[in-house]
Amino acid sequence: MLKFLTRRLLTMIPVLWATVTLTFVLVRLAPGGPFTEEKQYPQQAIDQLNQHYGLNDSLPKQYVHYLRNLLHGDLGPSLKYQNRSVNEIIAETFPVSLELGLWALLVALLLGLPAGITASLRPNTALDYIPMSLAMIGICVPAFVLGPLLVLAFALGLGWLNASGWDMPSDRILPAITLGSAYAAYIARLSRAGMLDILPQDFIRTARAKGLRESRIIGLHALKPGIFPVVSFLGPAVAGLITGSFVVETIFHIPGLGKMFVMGAFNRDYTLVLGLVVFYSALVIVFNTLVDVVLASLNPRLRVGS
């Protein structure tokens, strides 16, 4: 396991380097600059700002300077939010995105796992067709459609919840459902497929022949190997829930990391976009590594293979 973790950490270095390089080049290829679109800046002030942030240097020099600061954990100053560094913006907004992602993950698990397990126990019946049909709808309906529909129904229509904001505990409900519904649909289908592969196995028939209760067979013997596909999916799912909430945070006006990423892209804030991409990439690698460790702990054959 130690060799496996060491190998994954060493693999993280070239992946992050390639991500930083591609993002650095792409944001510089975008037309305009962080100060050129603002009419209130006179040209002399724009030249001074470019000189202050090193934007007048050649691209190779800017690239080397950014990598040098990155190795020290410095993501640089924001070009649009004066007197604020990218590190400070991440420290301020990431807890909001993390909380939203965890609530959405809870929604996905509470909806997806029972639906998938129930469907696998009663295949080709109404208990199978109904949740799987709802899961397909959840996969097909994007967040930018589901979010406004929930706002229209529960905020504007019934008046039960707020349409936007992040001040009250109830403000978490609509964004969490919007973000977690698609992942709940995937979890439902994966858990159904995994359980259907396990239930016909010999050790399940042996447990039934011994007279064990069905609930004990499902919970003790079938569930652990049956949710392997779900555990494998949770790595990119958790990373996607935490880092992929751009649309949800914009719809509900949540002051999270995703909204800052969108604003940074619109404002051509090079350092903010670069810093958030690096942070997102590191999160994805960390979550995927954690899932691999969990899978290895659940399946001893994976530990031998690693």
Q: 77 has which bridge partners?
A: 85
86 vs 296 pLDDT, higher one: 86
Domain 93-199+227-305 maps to which CATH number in 1.10.1040.10, 1.10.3720.10, 3.40.50.620, 3.30.70.20? 1.10.3720.10
Which tokens go with 126?
A: 């109404």
Contact at 8 Å (CB) between 255 and 166?
Answer: yes
pTM of the complete model: 0.77
Domain-wise residue ranges, the chain: 93-199+227-305
pLDDT at 47: 67
Average pLDDT of the residues of the chain: 80
What spatial distance separates the first Cα and last Cα of the chain, rounded to whole Å? 7
- In whole angstroms, give the CA distance from residue 70 to residue 59: 16
**Angle, helices 59-71/270-298, rounded to nearest 10 degrees:** 50
Give the tens place of pLDDT for each residue, 223-278.
877 877 887 787 778 777 776 677 888 888 888 887 888 787 777 778 888 888 88
Which tokens go with 283?
A: 């999160």
- In whole angstroms, give the CA distance from residue 109 to residue 72: 38
Question: Which of 27-31, 114-118, 154-158, 172-176 shows the lowest per-residue confidence on average (mean pLDDT)?
Answer: 27-31
